[in-house]
Amino acid sequence: MKRRFFAVPAVLLALSALCVSGCPNPWLNRTFKSELDAAAGAAPLPDLVWPGTETAPKTSLFFTVGDPAGWDAVLAAIQASPEAFFTVTVTADLSLPPQALTGSGYADKNIVLRGDIPTRTISLGSAGSLFTIGADLALELQNITAQGRANNTAPLITVNMDGELTVKAGGLITGNMAIAGVSSSNTGVYVGAGGSFTLDGGEISGNTNRTTQNASGGGVMVDGGTFTMTSGTIRDNHAVNTAGAYGANGGGVTLRSGGVFVMDGGLIEDNTAECTGYSKGGGVSVAPGCSFTITGGIITNNTVSSTTNAWETLVWGGGVFYYTGASYANSGGTVTGNWKQIAAGAPTTNNVDTGST
pLDDT, tens only, 299-346? 999 999 887 766 666 788 999 999 999 999 999 999 999 999 888 888
Is position 348 within any domain?
Answer: yes
User: What pLDDT was estimated at residue 324?
Assistant: 96
Give percent above pLDDT 70 in the chain. Answer: 80
Is position 127 within any domain?
Answer: yes
Summarize the confidence of residues 264-281 as an average pLDDT: 91
More confident residue, 279 or 116: 116
Give percent above pLDDT 90 in the chain. Answer: 66
CA distances to 109, 220, 351 from 145, rounded to whole Å, are 22, 16, 31
Q: What is the DSSP letter of 45?
A: P
Phi-psi region of 266 (alpha: psi -120 to 50; beta: other; left: phi over 0): left
User: What pLDDT was estimated at residue 42?
Assistant: 36
Phi-psi region of 180 (alpha: psi -120 to 50; beta: other; left: phi over 0): beta
C-alpha–C-alpha distance, residues 273 and 239, integer Å: 5
Nearest CA to 133 out of 38, 36, 51 is that of 51
Count of domains for the chain: 1
User: What pLDDT was estimated at residue 33?
Assistant: 40
- Confidence at 357, pLDDT banded by 50, 70, 90: confident
Q: Give the lowest-confidence range in 141-145, 211-215, 289-293.
A: 211-215
Q: Is the pLDDT of residue 91 over 80?
A: yes
Summarize the confidence of residues 242-252 as an average pLDDT: 82
Nearest CA to 157 out of 170, 175, 169 is that of 175
C-alpha–C-alpha distance, residues 142 and 70, integer Å: 19
Burial (0-12, 13-18, 19+ Cβ within 10 Å), 354: middle
Summarize the confidence of residues 251-262 as an average pLDDT: 97
Q: Give the lowest-confidence range in 91-105, 194-208, 243-257, 260-274.
A: 243-257
User: What pLDDT was estimated at residue 343?
Assistant: 83
340 touches 308 (CB < 8 A): no
Kindly give the pairing relationship between strand 339-342 and strand 348-349. antiparallel
User: What pLDDT was estimated at residue 242?
Assistant: 80
User: What pLDDT was estimated at residue 245?
Assistant: 65
Is position 60 within any domain?
Answer: no
Determine the structural domain holding residue 104 and report its residue range: 86-355
Q: Is the pLDDT of residue 145 over 70?
A: yes
More confident residue, 96 or 46: 96
Is position 167 within any domain?
Answer: yes
Is position 62 within any domain?
Answer: no
Q: Give the lowest-confidence range in 54-58, 203-207, 257-261, 350-354.
A: 54-58
Q: Is the pLDDT of residue 19 over 80?
A: no
Summarize the confidence of residues 226-253 as an average pLDDT: 90
Buried b (16+ CB within 10 A) or exposed e, 163-185: bbbbbbbbbbbbbbbbebebbbb
3-state secondary structure of 351: coil
144 touches 121 (CB < 8 A): yes
Q: What is the DSSP letter of 10?
A: H
User: What pLDDT was estimated at residue 59?
Assistant: 57
Q: What is the DSSP letter of 313?
A: G
User: What pLDDT was estimated at residue 104?
Assistant: 97
User: What pLDDT was estimated at residue 181?
Assistant: 67
